Amino acid sequence: MQYVKFGQTPLTVSRFGLGCMRFPEAEDEAIAMVRYAIDHGVNYCDTAYVYENSEAILARALRNGYRERINLVTKSNTWGIEKHSDWERFLDEQLLRLGTDHFDVYLLHNLYDQNWRRVLDYDGFGFLDEMVAKGKVRYRGFSMHNTLTAFKTAVDACSWDMAQIQLNILDEQVQIGTEGLLYGAAAGLAMVVMEPLRGGNLIKNMPPAVGKLIAAHPEQRSLADWCFRWLFDKPEVTLILSGTSTLGQLQENLRIFENAQAGILSEAEQDFIGQLRAAFEEQDSIGCTGCGYCLPCPQGVDIPHIFRMYNNNKLSQGHFVDKLAYSGGLVAEGHGADRCISCGACEALCPQQLPISSLLEEAHEALGFDVVGFRRK
């Protein structure tokens, strides 16, 4: 494992951070995975109030001395703030749940416009100052899926120690992008990257053209390997979070990060990644990361599931199995795109700024399938 300084703080962090949003379903497996990561040099674990069960499971994983070996990082329940005292009330709940007396880094979570308003209205900056003074928080940060302009405004608004942004080979100019990365790093912030594989979708939905390029390359590296290298090659990227959901994935990531040094990519390798990007962009798939912020839809539409099916179906060139699963599963259970009434509630919450209702229409048209008339040969 490679280690770097965490911005201008005295912390030293592993370049790989364990994202705890997508734990395996079996709790024992999740606990074993966290401990495996720590035993192999990972010293940064990232969770959040709103990641279902994540803090509670992480707390159990961090018993028996594991807590002391890591930088424990979690995020505010920004959506639930209705008055200033709510910030500390939720934080105290998190301290209790995680069985610790302080967080090494505490982030104001997901500062899209409504959450940013809550930070301003209920003095989120003052809250962070108070928590640092009380010793409940060591370092201050925020996470954001938003525009570059909004990111710059946030960076300039408070004396943060770190920021967390989405970045991967396809998002150089999407959301905050590379320009935001440089801006945050120049302001002295530790820059943490999330969604390095867009919630695993870059791998799951790898177009055949990308697979061919990778297979033909003289260095036999996986797509995940190329994606991570592109990120850790950048000196402005402090740490990359990856939310592995199996021990095998974690082991593969740890192997990749053995050489996670900035400046490692040759010009030819940069060009190759440019070719991978171009091959991806030839596909017209929906850039949903599966984060679930749009849920629940009042009509019961299972938005990320439909988009995942749509993307997979595109990549598998319209294979009927996806259509059957959609029409015979989601639609039959009342969670299909046909239930959408275009109210727009989900679109205001989508960090990817997807035009969800029109994409749902498109997905429904592509995946719609006559289940009743279907007979398996």
Residues of this chain that interact with ligand SF4 (CB under 6 A) are 288-294, 297-299, 301, 303-304, 307, 340-346, 349-350, 352, 354, 356-357, 360
Rounded Cα distance, 200 and 183, in Å: 27
Query: For ligand SF4, which is the closer residue by CB, 162 or 303?
Result: 303
What is the nearest approach in angstroms of ligand SF4 to the Cβ of residue 161? 27
CA neighbor of 270 nearest in space, from 235, 224, 236, 226: 226
Q: How far is the CB of 349 from ligand SF4 (least distance, A)?
A: 6
Contacts of 251 by beta carbon, 8 Å cutoff, 6+ apart: 36
Q: Name which of 297 and 331 has its Cβ closer to ligand SF4.
A: 297
CB of 326 to ligand SF4, least distance (A): 15
DSSP for 278-346 reads HHHHTS---------TTPPPTT---HHHHHHHHHHHHHTTT-HHHHHHIIIIIITTT-SGGG-----TT
Rounded Cα gap, residues 43 and 22, in angstroms: 18
**Measured from the CB atom, is 131 or 288 closer to ligand SF4?**
288
Q: How far is the CB of 280 from ligand SF4 (least distance, A)?
A: 17
45 or 291: CB nearest ligand SF4: 291
Quote the least distance from Cβ 133 to ligand SF4, whole Å.
35
- 63: number of Cβ within 10 Å: 11
SS3 67: helix
Residue (318 or 344) nearer to ligand SF4, CB: 344
List the beta bridge partners of residue 19. Answer: 46
CB nearer to ligand SF4: pick between 74 and 311: 311
Closer by beta carbon to ligand SF4, 321 or else 348: 348
Q: Which is nearer to ligand SF4, 161 or 302 (CB)?
A: 302
Q: How far is the CB of 306 from ligand SF4 (least distance, A)?
A: 9
Q: Identify which of residues 41 and 368 has a Cβ nearer to ligand SF4 in the complex.
A: 368
Assigned token pair, 18: 């364990």
Q: Is the peptide bond before 24 cis (omega within 30 degrees of 0)?
A: no
Shortest approach of ligand SF4 to residue 109 CB, angstroms?
Answer: 14
Radius of gyration of the chain (CA): 21
Name the minimum Å distance from CB 214 to ligand SF4.
Answer: 26
Sign of CA dihedral 176, 265, 1, 280: positive
Nearest to 167 by CA among 202, 139, 208: 202
What would the DSSP string read from start to end of 187-256?
TT-EEEEE-TTTTTHHHHT--HHHHHHHHHSSS---HHHHHHHHHHT-TT--EEEE---SHHHHHHHHHH
| Minimum distance from residue 296 beta carbon to ligand SF4 (Å) | 8
Whole-number Cα distances in Å, 276 to 35, 135, 184, 226: 34, 46, 27, 9
